[in-house]
Amino acid sequence: MTGLELALVALALMLVAVFLRVPIAIAMGLTGFFGTWYLLGTAAGPMAQLKTLSYETFSNQGLAIVPLFLLMGQVATRTGMSAALFRAASDWLGHRRGGIAMASVGACAGFGAICGSSLATASTMGQVALPEMRRRGYSDALSTGVLAAGGTLGILIPPSVILVFYAILAEQNIVKMFMAALVPGLLAAVGYMITVALYVRLNPTAGPTVPRKPYTERWRGLAGTWPVLAIFGLTMGGIVGDWDWSRPGDQALFTPNEAAAFGATATALYGIVMGRLTLGGLLDAFLETAKATGMIFFILLGAEIFKGFLALTRAPDQLAEWVLVQGYAPIVVLVAMLCCYLVFGCVMESLSMILLTVPIFLPVIEALDFGMTAEQTAIWFGILALIVVEVGLITPPVGMNLFILNGVAPDIPLRRTYAGVAPFVASDLVRVAVLVAFPGITLWLVGVTT
């Protein structure tokens, strides 16, 4: 049995375990452990790997950004920022047909910019916006569908925890990945708003209008969003901005870790000063951050064990060689991989998909000729993969955002949410097609042109 054949068998067994609801971290870890044992013929190798791998993985300073951004998101959910964003957006858009649904998309984008988590964005905005849309007579399908889709903006608009993990796996610059994600994230928000407009045009009763707000109230509501704008602007601007005018060039104010620490601290200080964050709320935020970080790092450890097994089999290199020999057009291979993400999204959560597939798919993509450098290809593919992973969050049967919204409004049948989210899935697929056809849309902001 060749290394590639062994890796495919191991991958199949691992996916069977996942389908049987074995936690993905355990499935990847055990598959990698026993696969390495089989290859080496002794348990001493994988046991020695377990002894050192945990320290080598978690001592990576780049991973410090993960709990810090998670803490920032946890604190933000407890400070009322989401409500301020929704009020401001609804003041400006609510008088249009479907305007409150469009406002929900805008609020999700704004909250995702300081949260970095899709599930937190969907849950928080669901509690804020869903009651208002239902009170205004919006259909249940549109209300839950737009919030499930809007929640996915939390993992694309930087800062994004999953984007951090992709950058580490692909050995790419985190700042460049954040910059590359910004335009596709904004395109997603605009695409969702256009989808809402088309939805209510075809079904006018789904999104009725509300009275127009005077401009004084609109500006007052917009002013209430200053904490979000300030924190996002300083956090992301501190990473990518040139703050030393005497020496033009890459003179960023923060490293990514420092920016995450600043964002978490600034969000907490705002909540405390405004009286919106109690000591109990802060302790809860720390506890939830610890739980989420432990879960994420456990998955990462399982992925590293499986990645070590793949390295021993040389399966990624052999797969790349096999694809090149077949003579498939690069675009065909790329589309096939993106379709795999759509299938995996029906049964796996987003981080697991990235950690499992990137060590296999990226070497193949980098071996193909897309007319770009290896760095350009890795950044472009990362954004495409993340967008398709987004779609997995809103596709049945295991679209996590759909279940989050069902938990917020359990009286709304899931079938209505499935129906409501379908147009937004179509919008995502159109966006993927555009970004595949025009890589420059993704790359131009980081100064990497094709």
Q: Which structural domain range is residue 84 located in?
A: 3-446
Q: Which of 204, 188, 145 is nearest to 419 (CA)?
A: 145
pLDDT at position 436, please?
A: 93
Structure tokens at 433: 């097609």
What average pLDDT does the segment 378-383 reach?
93
* Structural domains counted in the chain: 1
| Runs of H (alpha helix) within 250-314 | 256-273, 279-313
pLDDT at position 283, please?
A: 92
Instruction: Report pTM.
Output: 0.84
Beta-carbon contacts of residue 286 (< 8 Å; ≥ 6 apart)? 71, 74
Q: Which of 388, 354, 337 is nearest to 184 (CA)?
A: 388
AA letter at 143: S
Pairwise CA distance, residues 150 & 354, whole Å: 21
Q: pLDDT digits over 5-53, tens only?
A: 888 888 888 888 877 878 888 888 899 889 888 888 887 878 887 778 8
With a cut of 70, say whether residue 252 has pLDDT above it.
no
Structure tokens at 319: 């797969």
198: pLDDT confidence band, cut at 50, 70 and 90? very high
